[in-house]
Amino acid sequence: MGQLEVICGSMFSGKSEELIRRTRRVVIAKKRIAVFKPSIDKRYGASTVNSHNGSSVEARVVDIGDTESIKDIALREQVDVVAIDEAQFFDDALVDVVRDLVRRGLRVVVAGLDLDFAGRPFGPMPVLLALADDVTKLKAICVKCGEPAFYTQRLINGQPASVRDPLIVIGGKESYEARCRKCYELRED
């Protein structure tokens, strides 16, 4: 029987690290796995999923509007497990692809931001969270006060971004910080 596991949280909460950990356990169990990532995420390497602590695993790169290729590869290669990193960047068609894979008996592990920098549900993640058999919500550490952080603070020239700024800006510590609810800021202008 298939199942859907969703790993979510803010940036720097360890989502990719947890996805990599689960991927390694699948390999130890001698199961077949295919790992995917969106083509727009080139921060650490073109064909690997990487955590901020340096862990990595090989991945197939998929265009954000071509989620059907995830299903095609998984079925053609007869894998047992599909792992998808940075799922928030894919289009809403990812939901149907994941549903179909789970119906076919595959275990699907999805990792992604549940909220965008403006605190809004991000991409297909809200639906995937609602459909999940298991949800792991990770917390980062607030860079301001040290409390658990659920928000991703985007910074532009060291200042909080405006709600009107572009939704997707690929970056790391130079552009984003983990913040708790109290320390999170969003300009409304």
The answer to whether position 162 is within a domain reads no
The answer to whether position 88 is within a domain reads yes
The answer to whether position 117 is within a domain reads yes
Contacts of 28 (CB under 8 A, 6+ apart): none
| Tens digit of each residue's pLDDT (9 = 90 or more) over 124-182 | 999 999 999 999 999 999 999 999 999 999 999 888 988 888 888 776 777 899 999 99
Distance CA 118, CA 137 (A): 18
Retrieve residue 15's tokens: 């989502």
Domain range for 59 is: 3-138
Domain CATH for 70? 3.40.50.300
The answer to whether position 87 is within a domain reads yes
| Tens digit of each residue's pLDDT (9 = 90 or more) over 94-127 | 999 999 999 999 999 999 999 999 999 999 999 9
Q: Provide the pLDDT for residue 105.
A: 98
Is residue 86 annotated as part of the catalytic site, yes or no? Answer: yes
Which pTM was predicted? 0.93
The answer to whether position 181 is within a domain reads no
The answer to whether position 145 is within a domain reads no
Alpha carbon distances (Å) from 172 to 54, 78, 117 = 13, 35, 13
- Residue 3 one-letter amino acid: Q
Q: Provide the pLDDT for residue 99.
A: 98
- Selected catalytic residue, list 86, 147, 185, 188: 86
Number of domains observed in the structure of the chain:
1
